[in-house]
Structure 1
Amino acid sequence: MSDRRRQIADAGLAILAERGLRGVTHRAIDSAAGLPTGSTSNVFRTKQALIDGLVARLVELDLAALEGNAVPDLSSPAALAAQIARQSAALTHPPMDTLTRARLQLALDPEIDLSSQHEGFTAMATQLLRALGATDPERRACSITDYLDGLIFHALAMESRAFDIEEAALTLEALIGPCPTSGPYVDNHPFDDRE
């Protein structure tokens, strides 16, 4: 993505997070980015092209954030759970909360499909659980990503629901479940293994 496209997309994501999809207009982005009128429409001709550009920028930023994260701590389910909880909590605080709010706005629009991004995060969680030695890593990864989606949404949408890292870590540890190949681990939070 070129510097100009990034500048426009970043301004658009900030507007999206604050005002929702209705607030995302070519003119509003020109103003927010300090660009001459018509600059955004020169880069993204239609509203759909603009939305596609915002989604592409979110993916680019997600990949950069993942590359910048610490190496996963696979020493135990508790260690991985604590690390995931800390990283997820960061999504509800500045500066990452703006991107998270923008993503939620996009996810709520029935015409925008973010399933490939969600599936990417679930696949990554599956790989981590498999490396840790968790049983049924695919199902557990789905439970973890669904739990985190809800937790992050509540933390951003309700002032009374702050992201409690310790509580999240305990729940994530339970969702990870026993990992027989990762060493001596006592499952203090049994996972319901019914299909």
Structure 2
Amino acid sequence: MASTKTRALEAALALVGEQGMRALTHARVDQLAGLPKGSTSNWFRTREALISGVVTYLAESERADFAAADTSTIETADQLIDSLSAMIAAETGPFAGRTRARYGLFLEGAGDPELLAPLLEQRRTYLEWTTSLLARIGARSPEDSVRALMAAGDGLVLHRLTVDPDAEIRPVIKRVVRACMQ
């Protein structure tokens, strides 16, 4: 069974992902996690500390998922398209709550570089990973192309989370990856 702290962080992340930042209170976290009243505040005394804890937990969770992914077999554009399409499907499907939470936390921390640091580090890691994959498949200018690919991916994720949950993924990613090859 997960520790009390982990249960609180998982519940907090779920609250933000399902109901937004305003729903994030110590009492609601305790209730959702099935913890005795006051448990979350034992770990995170203030709301700011709770938000910071959720940001760190989210970044660590995503980093662990990222590290577990085997990308050593990606050698072609089609393999990259398949991999990125599957990742976006997961971010907007089974992990949609976590993805919405990430967006909410990015917005919450827009004026707080310290709060955003774990998420920005995660973003840098993803940027480097994607750039290396583009280089591996023979993209003409991976460092320039990665921004377009990530922007298209981010836009597609946001579109699927907010407007059209069934929007096709692969055709969009295919078009951008193919453009990166030119």
TM-score tier by shorter-chain length is 0.7 to 0.9
Aligned to 1:31: 31
Q: CA deviation at 1:92?
A: 0.5
Q: Distance in 1 between matches of 2:175 and 2:15?
A: 33
- 1:25 positional shift: 0.6
Distance 1:165 1:150 in 2: 11
Letter of the aligned partner of 2:14 in structure 1?
A: A
Separation in 2 of the partners of 1:6 and 1:172? 38
Task: Report the TM-score, using the length of structure 2 for normalisation.
Answer: 0.87
SS at the partner of 2:9?
Answer: helix
How many residues are aligned here? 175
Q: Quick one: which amino acid aligns to residue 143 of structure 2?
A: E
Could you say if the C-alpha distance between residues 34 and 130 of structure 1 is closer, same or farther in structure 2, counting changes exceeding 3 Å? Answer: same
User: Once the 2 structures are TM-superposed, how far is the Cα of residue 122 of structure 1 from its aligned partner?
Assistant: 1.0
**Match of residue 102 from structure 1:** 101
Unaligned runs of 5+ in 2: none
- Alignment check: 8 A CA contact 1:121 1:145 kept: no
- Distance in 2, matches of 1:168 and 1:3, equals 41
8 Å contact from structure 1 (residues 78, 169) kept in 2: no
Is residue 121 of structure 2 the alignment partner of residue 116 of structure 1?
yes
Matches within 5 A, 1:68-107: 68-94=68-94, 96-107=95-106
CA contact (8 A) 2:76 2:137 kept: yes
1:156 is matched by which residue type in structure 2?
L
- Structure (1/2) with the larger helix percentage: 2
Instruction: Write the distance in 2 (CA, Å) between the matches of 1:47 and 1:81.
Output: 40
**Other-structure match for 1:19:** 19
Find the aligned partners of 1:64 and 1:163 in 2 and give their Cα distance.
28
Gaps of 5+ in 1: 179-195
Distance between the aligned counterparts of 1:31 and 1:7, measured in 2? 11
Q: 1:65: how far off? A: 1.4
Kindly provide the amino acid, as one letter, of the partner of residue 115 in structure 1: L
**Which residue is 2:180 aligned to?**
176
Which AA in structure 2 matches 1:133? G
Between the aligned partners of 1:111 and 1:8, the Cα distance in structure 2 is 25
- Give, as a single letter, the amino acid of the residue that structure 1 aligns with 2:134: L
Which AA in structure 2 matches 1:99? R
- Give the SS at the match of 2:139: coil
TM-score by length of 1: 0.81
Distance 1:63 1:163 in 2: 27
Note the aligned Cα RMSD (angstroms): 1.9
- Residue aligned with 2:153, SS: helix
Moved over 3 A (4+): none
**1:144 and 2:149 matched:** yes
Cα distance between partner residues in 2 of 1:121 and 1:173:
16
Asked which structure has the greater CA Rg, the reply is 1
Alignment partners' CA distance in 2, 1:175 and 1:122 = 18
Once the two structures are overlaid, the 10-residue window that deviates more, 55-64 or 166-175, is 166-175
Task: Name the % identity.
Answer: 31
